[in-house]
């Protein structure tokens, strides 16, 4: 019986010291993920997936910073698949706006972000290799919608 208690307390101690990583328990900021260096982004284009047209909108340097600052506001939790981001309280997957955001650094493609408004975000490096999927935990107020619409109307 004493061995069982020692085993249980040892496992708890290991888990608490972060030697064992339990996906989904740790919340990170967008900047902690280190997908790319925000200061080096020179080009950003967006497409809203809910629209029938496949029009990409290119953003100005000022708008790029607004979008990247929006990402910095997010707190993210790693999930296995996108469907894990939806629960009975959150919006339906088809109701929330979805954006495809292409990023370039000095005319070099560094990746694509698939962003589902208040539910999840995922990053593709080289447009094919999916890095990870993260659930948006805190649902901050985002300027990305207004930035997209104003760039679209220019």
54-81 confidence digits (pLDDT tens): 677 888 888 888 888 888 888 887 776 5
Architecture label for domain 23-152 = 2-Layer Sandwich (3.30)
Q: How far apart are CA 108 and CA 127, in angstroms?
A: 12
What's the whole-number average pLDDT of the chain? Answer: 74
The pLDDT of residue 68: 82
Q: What residue ranges do the domains of the chain occupy?
A: 23-152
Report the pLDDT value the prediction gives residue 138, as an integer from 0 to 100: 79
Question: Assign residue 8 a region: left if phi > 0, alpha if psi is -120 to 50, beta otherwise?
Answer: alpha
pTM tops 0.75, yes or no: no
What per-residue confidence (pLDDT) applies to 129?
A: 63
Low-confidence ranges of the chain (pLDDT < 50): 88, 91
Helix (H) or strand (E) holding 27: strand 27-29
pLDDT of residue 52: 63
Q: Are the CB atoms for 44 and 67 separated by under 8 Å?
A: yes
Give the span between the Cα atoms of 146 and 153, in whole angstroms.
Answer: 11
Predicted confidence at residue 88, as pLDDT, reads: 47
């Amino acid at each position: 019986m004493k061995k069982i208690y020692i085993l249980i307390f040892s496992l708890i101690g290991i888990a608490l010291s972060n030697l064992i990583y339990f996906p989904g328990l740790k919340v990170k900021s967008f900047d902690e993920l280190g997908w790319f260096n925000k200061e080096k982004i020179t080009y950003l284009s967006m497409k809203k997936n809910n629209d029938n047209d496949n029009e990409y909108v290119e953003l100005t340097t000022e708008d790029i910073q607004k979008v990247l600052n929006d990402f910095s506001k997010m707190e993210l939790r790693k999930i296995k698949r996108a469907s894990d981001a939806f629960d009975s309280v959150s919006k339906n997957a088809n109701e929330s706006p979805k954006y495809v955001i292409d990023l370039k650094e000095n005319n070099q493609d560094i990746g694509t972000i698939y962003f589902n408004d208040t539910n999840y975000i995922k990053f593709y490096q080289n447009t094919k290799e999916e890095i990870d999927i993260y659930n948006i935990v805190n649902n901050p107020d985002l300027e990305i919608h207004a930035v997209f619409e104003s760039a679209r109307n220019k």
